[in-house]
Amino acid sequence: MILQALADYYDRKRAADPSAIPEWGFEHREIPFVIVLSERGEFLNIEDTRDATAGRKKGRTFLVPKPPKRAGKAIRAYLLWDKPDYALGLVAEKKKAERVRKQHRAFRQKIEEVFGPDPEDNGLRALLAFLRAGEFDAVWGHPTGSEVASAKGAYIGFRLSGDTRLICERPVVLKGIQMAVASDDAPVAQCLITGEEGPIAALHPAIKGVWGAQPAGGNIVSFNLGAFETHGRKQGANAPVSEAAAFSYTTALNLLLHRDSPTNAHVSDTSIVFWAEKRNEIRDLAGALFRDDQEVLDDPDRGVDLLKAVYAAPKQGALPGGGGGERFYVLGLAPNAARLAIRFWRPTTVEDFAAAVLRHFLDVEVVRPTWAARYPSVAALLRATAVLGKEANMPPNLAAGVVDAILTEQPYPRHLLAGAVQRARAEQDVSPDRAAVIKGCLIRVAHHSAIDPEVSVALDNGNVNVGYLLGRMFAVLERVQDRANPGIQSGIRERYYGAASATPTAVFPTLMKLKNHHMAKIENRGAVVNLERLLGSILDGVESFPTVLSLPDQGRFALGFYHQRQSFFTKSSEAEEVSHA
């Protein structure tokens, strides 16, 4: 299903813009240096296609024949383009001189094998004449020659004088390349993706752009050891995918993973790609959800209001954002040595995706100060549970588990709640995002349980859970201390929050004694009366201080503390507190 969806995406993109998507046997590749030849094969110039405006010298992109895989010490030349050692016989180290000689010979021989020793095309004849002459001193003597030799990993292409494209892009040459694409010795079988018979790919093209994967890329489908093979089949024959289909799905995935593409996001240790049958605004919103693009999430026209419109569209007969049953796909990938692991795969529709994201935002909604983002991204929520707020400190698989829970509307991973509670205890602080995580985790469990009570967005005076009540009480006790000692640097929150949220009976008796001392110092007696009244109303629901609180109740403690503190910042609460002054 995954490979079929990717292959279909490739077909749609190519049908929409053939010039932007390479066909089977080709790919787009940066070629920093282009050698210009005369029709007689004489060297004329070196064109430097690099552009430094993007912060690094980035070469111009050309359509080139797809290169074979290079592994180990095997010599495999690319067709009509390559690195200086293959294309020009550049010897960087004397001890490798003999190997470079073989590489350069392989480069020329590959052209002759595909097009013959005397091709009809003028560009091919000029290139072969240049290579056979082997006189490259003019190249290295050119002002740009030293950069060609020193540029790490630079590729070289060739162009005929008067042409605007590379020799490998000339129409006659393209047809010759297409005829030579299929492997002559490839077995023929029915393709698992297309259902049609064709030459089966032994090795699938590499997939690049997955965070943490090897720079050379990885594979979703691979059989590199005999233990993985069966019934005498070798490599790709164990899961037969035609060479054309393998090219289609890998090209599509590389396109989705490209660093400039809006169809991917990196969250912690997981790379996420997402695409729809047609371009729509939901795709851009998905990127904002997974990344840190608060400008989009909080924009009514592009953010949650758009989600609401898409979700309501079928009932209203309208189709905003590309709705109408259109398929929407979300794929999570992670590195696994030379392979890529599938963390999750969720094919859905635009409307169902909108509904799932709306449910997520509803579940993590908490009352927030004016400075805090209303709809935090997934990355922001995850950072609230990590040490020092760094994604690198998150547990493995957590990001993938959270995204999958959002898409399936299932409970969030339990260790997400544990992370938020632990960070609140360690930092003695319940931030808006941390409270949102805790509330989301608790309410998702409540949705799937007849026992656990739901939690509210803001202060809930009717919540009788002991953890929630003790959290509220702790916030009131901190308030009492603040009124008694304005500007105090290290109060009961810094000293007692961790113990109070986990082992209340060890701390609250001491805090109640301190409360009496602090109340005596407050000059505004009306405020004292109201604070005592508030504490009394909370204590009415607490029969005794528990020895320990479970993890969910520690989460409710944090929420009660957060809700009560936020209520103090509203004008109504301030007015009530001093009403008896």
Write the secondary structure of 235-274 as one string of H (helix), E (strand) and C (coil). HHHHCCCEHHHHHHHHHHHHHHHCCCCCCEEEECCEEEEE
Q: From residue 374, how far is each of 298, 303, 304, 308, 432 by CA, in Å? A: 7, 11, 10, 16, 9
**Do 568 and 435 share a structural domain?**
no
- The predicted pLDDT at position 323 comes to 47
Q: Is 549 among the domain residues?
A: yes
Rounded to an integer, what distance in angstroms lies between the CA atom of residue 438 and that of residue 381? Answer: 10
Max CA separation in the chain (angstroms): 104
Q: What is the pLDDT of residues 536-556, one digit of tens each?
A: 999 988 888 999 999 999 999
Q: Is 12 a domain residue?
A: no
Is the separation of the CB atoms in 459 and 521 below 8 Å? no
What pLDDT, on a 0 to 100 scale, did the predictor assign at position 479?
A: 93
Q: How many CB atoms lie within 10 A of CB 485?
A: 13
Question: Percentage of the chain surpassing pLDDT 70?
Answer: 89
Among 208, 230, 251, the domain boundary falls at 251
Q: What is the identity of the amino acid at 80?
A: L
Does residue 199 or residue 102 have the better pLDDT? 102
pLDDT beyond 60 at 317: no
**Window from 193-197, 226-230, 495-499 with minimum mean pLDDT:** 226-230
Together in a domain, 331 and 435: yes
pLDDT computed for residue 201 by the predictor = 82
Read off the pLDDT band of 279 (50, 70, 90): low
The token pair at 30 is: 């940066």
The mean predicted confidence, pLDDT, of the chain is 85
Residues 428 and 284 in one domain: yes
Name the pLDDT band for 233 (thresholds 50, 70, 90). Answer: confident
Where helices occur in 212-363 by DSSP H, the ranges are 243-257, 281-290, 294-297, 304-316, 350-363
Q: What is the mean pLDDT of residues 185-195?
A: 82
pLDDT at 419: 94
Encoded tokens for 62:
């050309």
Classify 218 as helix, strand or coil: strand
| 3 state SS of 461 | coil
Asked if residue 20 is part of any domain, the answer here is no
Q: Are residues 349 and 426 in the same domain?
A: yes
Among 52-66, 194-208, 425-439, 441-455, the range with the most confident prediction by mean pLDDT is: 425-439
Is the pLDDT reported for residue 578 higher than 50? Answer: no
Residues 272 and 398 in one domain: yes
What pLDDT, on a 0 to 100 scale, did the predictor assign at position 300? 58
Domain co-membership, 271 together with 235: no
Q: At a CB cut-off of 8 Å and minimum separation 6, what does 166 contact?
A: 31, 34, 62, 63, 64, 80, 81, 157, 158, 159
The type of residue at 274 is F
Q: In a 10 Å sphere around its CB, with 0-12 CB exposed, 13-18 middle and 19+ buried, how is residue 451 labelled?
A: exposed
* CB distance 237 to 228 below 8 Å: no
419 with 271, same domain: the answer is: yes
Is the model's pLDDT at 284 over the cut of 80? Answer: no
pLDDT higher for 325 or 100? Answer: 100
Would you place residue 324 in the very low, low, confident or very high pLDDT band (cuts 50, 70, 90)? Answer: low
Do 418 and 370 have their domain in common?
yes
- Residue 56 is predicted with a pLDDT of 60
64 and 162 inside one domain = yes
Q: Which band of pLDDT confidence, cut at 50, 70 and 90, is reported for residue 243?
A: confident
The answer to which of 284-293, 458-467, 487-496 has the lowest mean pLDDT is: 284-293
- Residues 314, 415: one domain? yes
Task: Report helix angle 281-290 to 304-316, nearest 10.
Answer: 140
What is the spatial order of strands in the sheet that 156-160 belongs to? 43-48, 33-37, 156-160
Joined tokens for residue 477: 């006790």
Sheet with strand 339-349: strands edge to edge: 264-267, 270-276, 327-336, 339-349
Place of tokens 């990127």: 287
Task: Give the phi and the psi of residue 343 in degrees, each rounded to 5.
Answer: -80, -40
3-class state of residue 503 by DSSP: coil
CA–CA dist 459, 576 (Å, integer): 15
Report residue 394's pLDDT band, with 50, 70 and 90 as the boundaries.
confident
pLDDT value of residue 181: 63
* pLDDT band at residue 563 using 50, 70 and 90 as cut-offs: very high
Residue 282 shares a structural domain with residue 424: yes
Q: Which of 521, 402, 549 has its CA nearest to residue 465?
A: 549
Report the pLDDT value the prediction gives residue 260, as an integer from 0 to 100: 82
**Region of poorest pLDDT, from 5-19, 82-96, 180-194, 380-394:** 180-194
Least confident of 270-274, 338-342, 380-384: 338-342
Mean pLDDT is lowest, of 257-266, 303-312, 483-492, for 303-312
What's the pLDDT score for residue 577?
A: 46
**Does 8 map to a domain?**
no
At 301, is the pLDDT very low, low, confident or very high (cuts 50, 70, 90)?
A: low
The CA distance from 282 to 275, in Å, is 9
Predicted pLDDT at 194: 87
**pLDDT digits over 128-154, tens only?**
999 999 989 999 999 999 999 888 778
How far apart are alpha carbons 98 and 330 in whole angstroms?
49
Q: Which of 218-222, 358-362, 548-552 has the lowest mean pLDDT?
A: 218-222
| Domain closes at, from 118, 151, 179 | 179
Buried b (16+ CB within 10 A) or exposed e, 344-355: bebebbbbbbbb
Q: Alpha-carbon distance 374 to 35, whole Å?
A: 55
Number of domains in the chain: 4
Distance CA 128, CA 251 (A): 30
Report for 196-205, 264-273, 281-290, 444-453: range of highest mean pLDDT: 264-273
What letter would DSSP give residue 291? T
Q: For residues 426-444, give the mean pLDDT.
A: 94
Residues 395 and 339 in one domain: yes
pLDDT band at 107 (very low <50, low <70, confident <90, very high): very high
Domain boundary among 228, 251, 274: 251
Domain that holds residue 135: 25-179
46-63 residue pLDDT tens? 999 988 665 567 888 898
Residue bearing the bigger pLDDT, 575 or 523: 523
Query: In this structure, what token pair is assigned to residue 143?
Result: 């002002």
